[in-house]
Chains A and B, each alone.
Chain A
Amino acid sequence: MKRIFAYLLPVLALTAVLSAPIPAAAQAGDTQAEPATESPPESASEPAKPSLSALLTRLGDASFDEKAAIVDEIAASGDPQAVPLLRALSGGNLYVRASDGLAAVSKGEEGSETYTSLTGDPVEAEGLEKVRVNNMLRRKVTAAVSRLGLLSPKADVRLTSARAAFLEHDEEMLPLVEEALAKETDSGVKTALQQVRAAIALTSSGVTDDAVVAAIDVIKDRGDEDARNLIKPFTESENAKIKAAAVRAANAINTSLGYWAAAQNAWYGLSLGSVLLLAAVGLAITMGVMGVINMAHGEMVMLGAYTTYVVQDVMHSIAPALDTVSLVVAVPMAFLVAGLAGVAIERSIIRFLYGRPLETLLATWGLSLVLQQTVRTIFGPTNKTVISPSWMSGAFEIGHLTVTYNRLWIIIFSLAVLGLMMALLRYTRFGLQTRAVTQNRRMAAAMGIRTDLVDAMTFGFGSGIAGIAGVALSQLDNVSPNLGQSYIIDSFMVVVFGGVGNLWGTLVGSMTLGIANKFLEPYAGAVLGKIFVLVFIILFIQRRPRGLFALKGRALEG
């Protein structure tokens, strides 16, 4: 009974404070101290509790185990400052003055941080010691905060707390869960709480067989990995009724998870395919239209990625508030930088090598070495940080399908780029001329098209698209001088597999290879999967020596 009180008291006391949404885990950036709104009457009538500052004086140089105990005491103290305190603690921003137990929260970059007390008053940095936390403590804090959140007036807070509680499903939480369930009006939260109750029933002793069967049914509807793990021990139960229910539930979950896993693999494949598409589509243009094998294509991607880095850096120093849009600004910039580099390369090297596709391969290989070393000399050999804006971080779930925002955006982005390119080639004068040159260079020239100009523009265009790909890849991969090299071979495979010079071929090719790779990976492993795909391409080319969508052009028939 006393234990229930320990939970209920702070819950009641802190309801007001908790009206602000609490993230699942407090992060470093989000640690602003919140002023206490009101002092609950209960805490005043409970003189036995040690005061917060007494606890804080001990926090400074306690071991991690001692700190964990103190966290429990803080959560149970009923002090309105407990929640902001705990959040600052788990974010690593809590400082304590050992002499009097004054707590302060740091704000701002390291080296120039300012300190405020929990009530928002500025505090001198003198004598403050950082309270060190580790993962165990962070977990402890998250659990404490989320338990307190089960009775929050906000439905989304309750839902988050209920989900966290499901993973914990601690027997001691049962009274709290029951109480929350009795009050709950939101159906989603109600289901979540019922699942918590069922999970507790499955893991605690002294539960009747019927209750277990009922609990299995509730858990079954959840249908995910956690549910399967909870039910699994009961599939070997000695009680026939429980065993039957558990086996039925496990089978149902397995079937549905199997479909979800396939969907997940397909999604991964699409996402890998979109990366390949971005990397290869510029190559498809230059190779198809001009018959140029551009081994420096990967370096154009790299230039795009470095442009992203520079744009982000410059924008951060001019207008830090615009950090989230720097990626958007980087897209046209990367197109320009890589495109101009492409035009320069075409004018200075490639135009002397037309009709000699195999020799452009050699010259552009030399060029790629030079470009890599140039970037290495200017920016240094180490990776550069490109920060992901908030709208590209994290994930959401559709059923049991995890969709990460960055992958989603990159798929959308790659399709948009492809669509734009197709439209450009289809509906503009530049596109018309490009297609004419692709199909019959001499005839196009005879019709008055300046083929050399078209060549320069096309090469610049293809390179610019590669630069755009670099912006996207900076979100997934290293921004380093070696970035381009890791994509060049894959790009070639995509283009050759899909059929040189055919954008639909590139699309189908990249998606096929991406999905094949991802379906093979769980069975064969990452390395063997890739080898199988390569062997498949080699064999496929034997069947269709001009790729999936053969183009009736002549440029590459060396």
Chain B
Amino acid sequence: MIGTRIKSAVKKGTVAAAFLLAAATSALTPIQSARAADSGTIKVGILHSLSGTMAISETTLKDVMLMLIEDQNKKGGLLGKKLEPVVVDPASDWPLFAEKARELIQVQKVAAVFGCWTSVSRKSVLPVFAELNNILFYPVQYEGEESQRNIFYTGAAPNQQAIPAVDYLMKEEKVKRWVLAGTDYVYPRTTNKILEAYLKSKGVAEADIMINYTPFGHSDWQTIVASIKKFGSAGKKTAVVSTINGDANVPFYKELGNQGIKAQDIPVVAFSVGEEELAGIDTKPLIGHLAAWNYFMSVKDPGNADFIKKWQAFTKNPKRVSNDPMEAHYIGFNMWVKAVEKAGTTDPDKVIDALIGIAVPNLTGGYSAMLPNHHITKPVLIGEIQGDGQFEVVSKTPGLVAGDEWSDYLPGSKDLISDWRAPMSCGNFDVKAGKCLGAAAK
């Protein structure tokens, strides 16, 4: 009895060992194969979720990158080599983002990575990019409060989206009362903190600001929409500043429409609702609600028309829409190409230095330039939702707005600046203390 048991156990042990080894080798397979890969191409990493909750937004960006790379290859590639996209799926799983970033850099040896959508995914990969010294282009509007040497922020900082939108509402719509509604995560929290301070600096009373947070994917908006309605009936012109994230927007707007809140009564200005999101909503009841972005598909510009044509041909869908983060990737990719050409190499250190000061055409008829703080200059557009799911631009900043990474309206960051050019080379320089803060100081 005992003999057979031992025998069986031994047998099992062998199996176990075999499997553990198999598992370990299977994980290492890409490592070995990558070693063998030829070096006649320049690899570009694409780190966008293709499954899970964020796939809804990020899959499009992966396709845009594939299109841009294909386009560049048609033009003859870069430095005489072809570009090779390397697509991985971090599956909306934040630790997996860090793992996949490491795989792209260390195993696939990519020259640069384009990716991430949520702040948490960026925060997750940030130490990896710093440690392995590579380049990430981050294409989404975000809360600011960050400037890292290896990351280039091609989306909007709060001052390139939120503050101009509030200015517009104050001036054009004479709004006196504000609802700041957002999903409970860091982007809305920070943006609302900044807006609160900004509104108070403009003389708005505490009682005229209502702040509300909801969980991700919130789908039952009855109570909140009703309380917005109540808040808006106090006799002063009221507007909602929405930092509600992706999935929760559709039920939110549906409830707004159904409870009869029209844009002319209580306009909603959103920072996370673009053409892609509207593609899932019947926009007829929403005409007049607003969004602030740096790009709208409806912008009349030859460059934009060309981009949309290529995009719709690439996706083989004549109705496919384009949106702001896509433009950010367009700008970021062209900047990277230009910087690599300028540096004559894909070596990250040289490209990082070369990137600052590079200016490329954006899709709204101007040029965007990379600033020393690794943010870019952009125009700010305010658009009204139209019945066909597009936006009509009702306001555009006269010039370009420079991305401000450290908000002047937060007590913790008002004294900080960022400049990655030598000799400062610091992402968080305290002008009051006259020194670079944090880890960089040691």
Q: Binary interface profile of B, 194-222, with partner A (CB < 8 Å = 1, else 0)?
A: 00000000000000000011110111101
Q: How many A-B residue pairs have CB under 8 A?
A: 153
Contacts of B55 in A (CB 8 A): 376, 381, 481
Q: How far is the CA of A406 from the CA of B251 in the complex (A)?
A: 12
Q: Binary interface profile of B, 37-65, with partner A (CB < 8 Å = 1, else 0)?
A: 00000000000001101011001100000
Smallest Cβ distance from A382 to chain B, in angstroms? 6
- Segment at the B interface, from A171-179, A264-272, A504-512: A264-272
Please judge, given known A-B contacts A28-B287, A264-B226, A522-B227, whether A476 and B388 are in contact too, CB under 8 Å.
Answer: no
- Segment at the B interface, from A44-52, A286-294, A383-391, A415-423: A383-391
A320 at the interface (CB under 8 A from B): no
Find the B residue at minimum CB distance from A531: B215
Please judge, given known A-B contacts A25-B262, A393-B258, whether A135 and B280 are in contact too, CB under 8 Å.
Answer: no
Q: List 29 A-B contacts (CB under 8 A).
A: A27-B287, A28-B287, A29-B284, A29-B387, A92-B387, A109-B388, A110-B388, A135-B288, A136-B173, A229-B235, A268-B223, A275-B220, A381-B55, A382-B280, A383-B56, A383-B281, A385-B280, A387-B282, A388-B282, A393-B258, A394-B258, A395-B258, A395-B260, A475-B254, A481-B55, A482-B247, A526-B218, A527-B184, A527-B215
Find the B residue at minimum CB distance from A485: B53
Smallest Cβ distance from B94 to chain A, in angstroms? 17
A66 at the interface (CB under 8 A from B): no
Q: Binary interface profile of A, 1-43, with partner B (CB < 8 Å = 1, else 0)?
A: 0000000000000000000000001011100000000000000
Find the B residue at minimum CB distance from A268: B222
Contacts of B254 in A (CB 8 A): 388, 406, 475-476
A317 at the interface (CB under 8 A from B): no
Find the B residue at minimum CB distance from A476: B251
User: Are A393's CB and B285's CB within 8 A?
Assistant: yes
Report B127-161 residues with CB < 8 Å from chain A CB: none
User: Are B257's CB and A393's CB within 8 A?
Assistant: yes
Q: Binary interface profile of B, 228-265, with partner A (CB < 8 Å = 1, else 0)?
A: 00100111000000000001001100110111101110
User: Are A385's CB and B288's CB within 8 A?
Assistant: no
Q: Binary interface profile of B, 71-97, with partner A (CB < 8 Å = 1, else 0)?
A: 000000000000000000000000000
Q: Binary interface profile of B, 385-404, with partner A (CB < 8 Å = 1, else 0)?
A: 01110001010000000000
Query: 3 shortest A-B CB distances, which residue pairs?
Result: A383-B280, A404-B258, A28-B387
User: Are A229's CB and B258's CB within 8 A?
Assistant: no
Find the B residue at minimum CB distance from A525: B213
Contacts of A372 in B (CB 8 A): 51
Contacts of B214 in A (CB 8 A): 526-527
Contacts of A402 in B (CB 8 A): 226, 259-260
User: Are B264's CB and A132's CB within 8 A?
Assistant: no
A441 at the interface (CB under 8 A from B): no
Smallest Cβ distance from A471 to chain B, in angstroms? 15
Contacts of B224 in A (CB 8 A): 526
Q: How far is the CA of A232 from the CA of B362 in the complex (A)?
A: 52
B379 at the interface (CB under 8 A from A): no
Contacts of B306 in A (CB 8 A): none
Interface residues on A, range: 35 or more
Smallest Cβ distance from B59 to chain A, in angstroms? 5
Q: Binary interface profile of B, 172-192, with partner A (CB < 8 Å = 1, else 0)?
A: 111000000000100000000
User: Are B56's CB and A381's CB within 8 A?
Assistant: yes
Smallest Cβ distance from B87 to chain A, in angstroms? 14
Name the residue in B184, B226, B276 with the highest tally of chain A Cβ atoms < 10 Å from its Cβ.
B226
Find the B residue at minimum CB distance from A478: B250
Please judge, given known A-B contacts A92-B386, A385-B282, whether A134 and B394 are in contact too, CB under 8 Å.
Answer: yes
B408 at the interface (CB under 8 A from A): no
Contacts of A527 in B (CB 8 A): 184, 213-215
Contacts of B281 in A (CB 8 A): 383, 385
A337 at the interface (CB under 8 A from B): no
From the candidates A138, A395, A482, A486, name the one contacting B264 in the complex (CB within 8 A): A138
Contacts of A28 in B (CB 8 A): 284, 287, 386-387
User: Are A25's CB and B264's CB within 8 A?
Assistant: yes
User: Are B260's CB and A394's CB within 8 A?
Assistant: yes
B353 at the interface (CB under 8 A from A): no
Report A161-178 residues with CB < 8 Å from chain B CB: none
Contacts of A521 in B (CB 8 A): 223
Contacts of A139 in B (CB 8 A): 264
Q: How far is the CA of A388 from the CA of B255 in the complex (A)?
A: 12
Contacts of B259 in A (CB 8 A): 395, 402, 404
Smallest Cβ distance from A508 to chain B, in angstroms? 19
Additional pairs, 8, CB under 8 Å, beyond known A381-B50, A486-B247: A136-B174, A226-B235, A268-B226, A404-B255, A407-B258, A522-B227, A526-B224, A527-B214
Name the residue in B223, B247, B262 with the highest tally of chain A Cβ atoms < 10 Å from its Cβ.
B223
User: Are B220's CB and A381's CB within 8 A?
Assistant: no
A477 at the interface (CB under 8 A from B): yes
Q: Binary interface profile of A, 139-172, with partner B (CB < 8 Å = 1, else 0)?
A: 1001000000000000000000000000000000
User: Are B173's CB and A478's CB within 8 A?
Assistant: no
Contacts of A225 in B (CB 8 A): 230, 233
B384 at the interface (CB under 8 A from A): yes
Contacts of A395 in B (CB 8 A): 258-260
User: Are A272's CB and B184's CB within 8 A?
Assistant: no
Contacts of B56 in A (CB 8 A): 381-383, 480-482
Report B249-308 residues with CB < 8 Å from chain A CB: 250-251, 254-255, 257-260, 262-264, 267, 276-277, 279-282, 284-285, 287-288, 290
Please judge, given known A-B contacts A28-B284, A486-B219, whether A135 and B263 are in contact too, CB under 8 Å.
Answer: yes
Contacts of B51 in A (CB 8 A): 372-373, 376
Q: How far is the CA of A79 from the CA of B281 in the complex (A)?
A: 38
Q: Binary interface profile of A, 360-386, with partner B (CB < 8 Å = 1, else 0)?
A: 000000000000110010001111111
Q: How far is the CA of A136 from the CA of B250 in the complex (A)?
A: 25
A518 at the interface (CB under 8 A from B): yes
Contacts of B217 in A (CB 8 A): 482, 486
Report A472-530 residues with CB < 8 Å from chain B CB: 475-482, 486, 517-518, 521-522, 525-527, 530
Smallest Cβ distance from A446 to chain B, in angstroms? 40
Smallest Cβ distance from A291 to chain B, in angstroms? 30
Q: How far is the CA of A64 from the CA of B219 in the complex (A)?
A: 36
Name the residue in A230, A521, A522, A526 with the highest tally of chain B Cβ atoms < 10 Å from its Cβ.
A526
Q: How far is the CA of A218 from the CA of B233 in the complex (A)?
A: 19
Q: How far is the CA of A517 from the CA of B224 in the complex (A)?
A: 13
Q: How far is the CA of A387 from the CA of B250 in the complex (A)?
A: 12
User: Are B215's CB and A530's CB within 8 A?
Assistant: yes
Q: How far is the CA of A272 from the CA of B218 in the complex (A)?
A: 12
